Structure 1
Amino acid sequence: MTPEEQSALLMRVSTGSWLIHALDAVARLGVPDVLGDEPRPVEEFADEVGADPDPLGRTLRALSALDFFTEGPRGHFALNEAARMLRADSPAPLRAFLSVGIERVLPLFSELEHTLRTGRPAAEKIYGMPYFEYLDSHPDADREFTRSLGRSAAAFFDTALDRMDLDGAEHFVDLGGGDGTLVEMALRRHPRLTATLLDRPAMLSAARERMRKADLTDRCTLVGGSFFTDVPTGGDVYCIARCLHNWDDDTARTLLRTVRDATPKGSRLLIVEDVVPDGPVTATAGYSDLVMMLIGGRERTLSEYEALLGDARFALAGAQPIGTVAAPRLHLVEAVPQE
């Protein structure tokens, strides 16, 4: 590695935390929404976003040096491909990820050493309790967490529904359904389908409002409870979307066994989850697994999912990649009950 390469590596490492704050700040101001492909003088658009032109220009100049935004003549800025992801209408919801990253993820990494020394999730040290117990006891934080996930979920739920084959299904059960994004999309696509959404009681207000606005209240039953104890019976398709990776293997195995006890013969279990390769992982997959480790979960390979399913008396029936820009490793994993 040359001295220049060493310097560039040190810069990327040392700027990580301030970069996310700087991007979040300019996104909150709405700077990406008022810029286009042609450079504009900062004095002109600073007024539009309610900012002081001097610190805004200096911030954008620094971000341009890190490949976010493009600086034309000095003090003139335009969008590039990376900055375009910060727009409110971007299909890659970087804004939501920045917000979650600052409020939830960075504090976790401050206690990574605790996890390395003890094997316990950093979240337990920070919040004094398991992560999802903290969300249960702080409903405002819980609702914001749900909204952030919902904003990033619609694109990959749309792709997942393309592959789910629900045409012959009668009742869809969404376990850990959050604000109801997936259920709403499924019911809109399949007019004869009914659904049950199970989630923690604190989560149901957002789902209830979503169903009301969509005029789907009569087709969706909302159940407050835990998918470790309260899995509804009577479904022919059960879905767990972006939940299993929240838990360690023992807990995920317990969850799947509870689901298996509730699933009738002939039903299907659909899992929407990231699947990491068996060999070396990408940088984003490695980072995602660290985040899950800090809250008490893990990302898994397909063979690891197959083993968990087998322990819970499910058989793996298939797996299809459904990745999007926001979730490139996402898969639809299908399983069927076994005796």
Structure 2
Amino acid sequence: MAELGVADHLAHGPLDTEELAARCGAHAPSLRRVLRELASIGVVRPSGDDRYALTEEGSVLRSDVPGSIRSSMRMLGEESFWYAMGKLPETVREGSSAFVSKYGELYEHLARHPEISRIFDDYMTARADAFTRGLVTRYDFTGVGTMVDVAGGRGSILATVLRANPDMRGILLDLDHVAAHAGDVLAAAGLADRCQVVAGNFFDSVPSGGDVYLLASVLHNWGDDDAVRILRNVRHAMKPGGRVLILEVVLPDDAEPHLGKDLDLRMLAIFNGGSERSRQDYAKLFASADLELGQVVELGAGASLLEAKPI
């Protein structure tokens, strides 16, 4: 349903299967069988002879609604990501990612396949939406002149923070193939005159002179040594009195159910070394980079903001 865009095509009213198949580019008899199953789980409903309508539950699979999960479903079902989870037993047996063995490092894989990269970027943008609202309402950016968004993707988080803080300027750093799209997003948001987009690799360096450095869903991609290397580059680049903000899912120290524990298995499947971490784990990383953990702000949607300052 997500990949074929069924919810988008049903957004404006019921369609019969033949018409819906034509719009989706699908084989009508096969789609008819899928619709029968979708109706049984409540995301579409019959609306006359061989006609289907979208339900309220199914509307979250539209591309154009707040809280859409379409990009998440497409990412989970994308061939290489599906392979990663299917090969999780092999990864656990060997202690190294079957995904990496077959496809290479994730970001190199995405750079080679723009169509997958677009799905991934859509997913990351949608995923960030909920906790970005928490970021701008629950963290005090008073006095921040420049924020550097390290590996800032398309720039959606930076754009939200800048709109909420009109006196702030921003710098976004990301790899070449990502940074090219970020400039377009920031310009479309009317923020081109307040932003600089820099193409580069945070293992080499990060832009200097920032008051705040944001790393959102970055450190969990890397093992401890690489994470410390990134943090040291940030520590070296920041102004005196600067801060580092780490936006991640933070694992509880006990056995309670938590979204991060499911995400951690996906990190295990896709990366060699990447993992979700606890507050204590992050405190150790910061100390290794001459930083000290300060406040931790819950942002909602399972995410937290960890603030660190130079020791």
Pairing partner for 1:306 from 279, 283, 290: 283
Q: Hey, what's the Cα distance between the residues in 2 that align with 1:75 and 1:122?
A: 43
Distance 1:289 1:81, change over 3 A: farther
Aligned to 2:307: 334
Q: Hey, what's the Cα distance between the residues in 1 that align with 2:118 and 2:58?
A: 27
**Post-superposition shift, 1:48?**
8.7
The two structures have a TM-score, normalised by structure 1, of 0.79
Aligned to 2:66: 91
Which blocks of at least 5 consecutive residues in structure 2 are unaligned?
none
Q: Hey, what's the Cα distance between the residues in 2 that align with 1:188 and 1:138?
A: 32
**Post-superposition shift, 1:234?**
0.6
Distance 1:232 1:41, change over 3 A: closer
Pairing partner for 2:95 from 119, 123, 127: 119
Pairing partner for 1:208 from 183, 208, 219: 183
CA contact (8 A) 1:60 1:69 kept: yes
Q: Within 5 Å, which residues of 2 pair with 1:68-147?
A: 68-70=43-45, 77-103=52-78, 104-127=80-103, 129-147=104-122
CA contact (8 A) 1:124 1:130 kept: yes
Q: Hey, what's the Cα distance between the residues in 1 that align with 2:142 and 2:51?
A: 53
The farther-off stretch of 247-256 and 76-85 is 76-85
The farther-off stretch of 93-102 and 135-144 is 135-144
Distance 1:281 1:96, change over 3 A: farther
Pairing partner for 1:173 from 126, 129, 148: 148
Q: Hey, what's the Cα distance between the residues in 2 that align with 1:93 and 1:216?
A: 25
Q: Hey, what's the Cα distance between the residues in 2 that align with 1:74 and 1:283?
A: 43
Q: Hey, what's the Cα distance between the residues in 1 that align with 2:152 and 2:65?
A: 24
The farther-off stretch of 68-77 and 114-123 is 68-77
Report sequence identity in percent: 32
CA contact (8 A) 2:6 2:20 kept: no
Aligned to 1:316: 293
SS in 2 for 1:89: coil
**Post-superposition shift, 1:251?**
1.8
Aligned to 1:33: 11
The farther-off stretch of 62-71 and 272-281 is 62-71
CA contact (8 A) 1:239 1:270 kept: yes
Q: Hey, what's the Cα distance between the residues in 1 that align with 2:6 and 2:47?
A: 23
Distance 1:131 1:26, change over 3 A: closer
**Post-superposition shift, 1:79?**
4.5
Distance 1:280 1:168, change over 3 A: same
CA contact (8 A) 1:170 1:193 kept: yes
Q: Hey, what's the Cα distance between the residues in 2 that align with 1:276 and 1:82?
A: 29
**Post-superposition shift, 1:115?**
1.3
Aligned residues: 307
Aligned to 1:148: 123
Pairing partner for 1:224 from 186, 199, 202: 199
**Post-superposition shift, 1:140?**
4.9
Q: Hey, what's the Cα distance between the residues in 2 that align with 1:242 and 1:304?
A: 15
The farther-off stretch of 62-71 and 213-222 is 62-71
Q: Hey, what's the Cα distance between the residues in 2 that align with 1:43 and 1:317?
A: 56
Tell me the amino acid that sits aligned with residue 212 of structure 2: V
CA contact (8 A) 1:72 1:78 kept: yes
Q: Hey, what's the Cα distance between the residues in 2 that align with 1:215 and 1:74?
A: 48
Distance 1:220 1:283, change over 3 A: closer
CA contact (8 A) 1:199 1:223 kept: yes
SS in 1 for 2:140: coil
Tell me the amino acid that sits aligned with residue 161 of structure 1: V
Tell me the amino acid that sits aligned with residue 298 of structure 2: P
**Post-superposition shift, 1:280?**
2.2
CA contact (8 A) 1:34 1:45 kept: no
Which blocks of at least 5 consecutive residues in structure 1 are unaligned?
1-22
**Post-superposition shift, 1:170?**
0.5
SS in 1 for 2:228: helix
Distance 1:249 1:71, change over 3 A: farther
Distance 1:283 1:158, change over 3 A: closer
The farther-off stretch of 137-146 and 201-210 is 137-146
